[in-house]
Amino acid sequence: MTEYDFSNIKCSFFGLGLIGGSVALALKNSLPDITIQAVDKDENSLSAALSEGIIAKGEAQLYPAFFDCDYLFLCAPVSENDALLEQIAEKIKEGCILTDVGSVKNTTCKAIEKAGLQKHFIGGHPMAGSEKTGFQNASAGLLENAYYILTPSPEVSDAAADRFAALIRCCGVIPLIMSPEKHDYVTGGISHLPHIISAALVNFVKTHDDDAGLMKQVAAGGFRDITRISSSSPQMWQAICMTNTDVIISMLTDYIRGLEEIKEKLTARDSEILYRFFDSAKEYRDSFQLADAGPIKKACALFVDIPDVPGSIAQTATILAEHDLSLKNIGIMNSREFQEGALRIEFYDEATALQAADVLRDHNYKIFVRE
């Protein structure tokens, strides 16, 4: 699997929720001989991880052996991670790599520098997730074929960065290396700004609906798709907005300016500009990888968890073919933040998609259908 020997390494996890738990599960599944230990305030999460053999030791509070590790994953909220850095700086083992899974890097990198931990730090951000939270919803398959952005500190050696990339590749992810600034700019555009737009649209409909709630009643696939991400954790998105603030403000300003321009064209009844506006968006959106689910139109698609082993996609397609169910498209999900399922299967109509879901469930597949 890799040119590196990870059989006897130790990994410590500060936080064992959805993402931390999924990383721990994926590592243990791929490298059964590694030792994983954890700190988490949720005793139920620790009990479950212990009983499943994922972790060898788990406590609600920090303990001395926690810092005796080769890789230390910070998987709690950013503020909790940052508050721990001074203590980590005093106790971290020489050669240990410190990483996180946060969706904003600028504040963490500043805190890392202040704590003097640059030579240890490789920022990380798995581009996968769900509206659900907690270790009980963690899954090794959540990360399979998802992008995993890495932002190594300049003081980290290339050899250490390569080794860490090889380690997380054992989780089935696709590592992408970029600077913290580029990371925050990219995620600001494709994740943070859309969450604000989605929440604003939902609140707009809420305040403009009538007493009978007719807008809510007739809200169909298009509205539900484009606002699905509004069901995510308010606490998490509050924290993201307070940490990637400058990037979000800049992008939001440009977005509002764009809306004002479209408003002017609407007022002027400029049909040609409006056509180009929609046509440009369609052309660019259609150029996206199949793996990315379209939020604008209602797609007759299923999202399916499959093992990352040779032949699994072919086996899935064969099962559907045996039941005379025609596929329109099929593809791996590489960028799946707040979207479950590793495989996207699109059909020509909703009835076929629903029938396919029943067939795959009968074959013990885990299916996610967008509402």
pTM of the model: 0.75
> Which of 172-176, 278-282, 324-328, 333-337 bottoms out in mean pLDDT, i.e. has the lowest?
333-337
- pLDDT at position 2 is 59
What tens digit of pLDDT does each residue of 189-204 get? 999 999 999 999 999 9
Instruction: Read off the pLDDT band of 371 (50, 70, 90).
Output: very low
- pLDDT at position 220 is 64
> Which of 62-71, 155-164, 286-295 bottoms out in mean pLDDT, i.e. has the lowest?
286-295
Query: CATH number of the domain at 184-286, out of 3.90.230.10, 3.90.440.10, 1.10.3660.10, 3.40.50.970?
Result: 1.10.3660.10
> Which of 59-63, 228-232, 247-251, 337-341 bottoms out in mean pLDDT, i.e. has the lowest?
337-341
What tens digit of pLDDT does each residue of 264-298 get? 999 999 999 999 999 999 999 888 754 443 323 34
Give the residue-averaged pLDDT of 307-331.
85
Query: CATH number of the domain at 301-369, out of 2.30.29, 3.40.50, 3.30.70, 3.90.550?
Result: 3.30.70
d(CA 87, CA 91): 6
Query: CATH number of the domain at 10-178, out of 3.40.50.300, 3.40.50.720, 3.30.43.10, 3.40.1710.10?
Result: 3.40.50.720
- pLDDT at position 297 is 36
- Alpha helices, DSSP H, located in the chain: 18-30, 43-51, 78-83, 85-91, 106-115, 158-169, 180-187, 193-208, 214-218, 221-227, 234-243, 245-267, 271-286, 312-322, 350-362
CB 333 within 8 A of CB 342: yes
Say which DSSP state 97 is in.
E
Give the residue-averaged pLDDT of 56-67.
94
Residue boundaries of the structural domains of the chain: 10-178, 184-286, 301-369
Instruction: Read off the pLDDT band of 336 (50, 70, 90).
Output: low
**Token match 């020997």: residue?**
5
Instruction: Please give the share of the chain, as a percent, with pLDDT higher than 90.
Output: 61
The helix or strand, by DSSP H or E, that contains position 151, with its residue range, turns out to be: strand 147-152
Instruction: Read off the pLDDT band of 1 (50, 70, 90).
Output: very low
Instruction: Read off the pLDDT band of 115 (50, 70, 90).
Output: very high
